[in-house]
Amino acid sequence: MTVDLEFTPKQKRPAGQRCCDPVVYPDVDREQAIRMAEVAKALGDPIRLQLVDVLRKHAGKVCVCELVPLFEISQPTLSHHLAKLRTAGVVDSERRGLWAYYYVIPGALAELSAWLS
Amino acid sequence: MTVDLEFTPKQKRPAGQRCCDPVVYPDVDREQAIRMAEVAKALGDPIRLQLVDVLRKHAGKVCVCELVPLFEISQPTLSHHLAKLRTAGVVDSERRGLWAYYYVIPGALAELSAWLS
DNA sequence: ACTCCAGATCGACAGTCATCTATATACATA
DNA sequence: TATGTATATAGATGACTGTCGATCTGGAGT
């Protein structure tokens, strides 16, 4: 599961041929890859991606009761998606009385965003 | 599963209170969300993310035989990850004799990248 | 023709996922 | 205190995931 930095080619190539230029190592190390993949995975569902889109474009925090009617899924399923985003470190929430307010954690998408561009 | 554009609030709020500003709709529509989530999901595994990193930073196409020793997973598992990236439209491959060469499809990450920044 | 090799596919398995209904929790209002 | 409301949790279910070893495929070299 970790990058093998001691790599030396073991396989014999057909005589006089090379398949390509010498090995390239990932610039992104395992730690970074795990962090970014966790965020990417959290965004890997259309509903969660739209949720993040709404939260991001809305200044401030959005009440769950405003989110539920936007999607044709049950309230518990929405709650599950929000929990997933929170576990991945993408959003956080705050309770005020009956209502819960969610918001995108500033900078949570920065590393992935930077790597992608 | 689709966005409910006909939404009007049904739930009664406690008298004289509002939970937050009026509803915000996603700027990203369902189609876009599905496309971008598919790419994000493909990047949602550390090994696949590192694979894309290697392929992206290497000019031209990289032979699978160079990729196998970089990761501590079996050759069939690597093949599975590459297939997953191909299905998601992130990479494509080309065969030359015994070897298979993979490369990131130009622009495949553009939509997600743009949305993230 | 036979063997060898790179890579893909198959079949299995344990784990996770998205979804639902039903229920619990915790705060508000009367 | 009793009732209602917003959100979270529990439990179930069917689908999918990452991984492996074993096998298949098809081109290369002898």
- pLDDT per position as a tens digit, A83-110: 999 999 999 999 999 999 999 999 999 9
User: What is d(CA A71, CA B26) in angstroms, rounded to the nearest whole number?
Assistant: 10
Residue A13 lies in a domain: no
Q: Is the CB of B1 under 7 A from strand C?
A: yes
pLDDT at A33 > cutoff 90: yes
What pLDDT does A1 receive?
34
Distance from CA(B105) to C1'(D12), angstroms, rounded: 41
Nucleotide with C1' nearest the A71 CA: C19
Chain D nucleotides near the protein (CB, 7 A): 4-11, 17-22, 26-30
Residue A12 lies in a domain: no
The 10s digit of each residue's pLDDT in A55-66 is: 999 888 999 999
Question: What CATH code is carried by the domain that includes residue A70?
Answer: 1.10.10.10
Q: Domain count for chain B, please give it.
A: 1
Residue B67 lies in a domain: yes
User: From edge to edge, which strands make up the β-sheet containing A91-96?
Assistant: A62-63, A99-104, A91-96
Tokens of A116: 């992608």
User: What is d(CA B39, CA A33) in angstroms, rounded to the nearest whole number?
Assistant: 16
Q: Is residue A67 very low, low, confident or very high in pLDDT (cuts 50, 70, 90)?
A: very high
Range of the structural domain that residue A102 is part of: 30-116
Structure pTM? 0.87
The 10s digit of each residue's pLDDT in B34-91 is: 999 999 999 999 999 999 999 999 888 999 999 999 999 999 999 999 999 999 999 9
Give contacts of B37 with chain A, Cβ < 8 Å: 43-46, 48-49
What pLDDT does B16 receive?
44
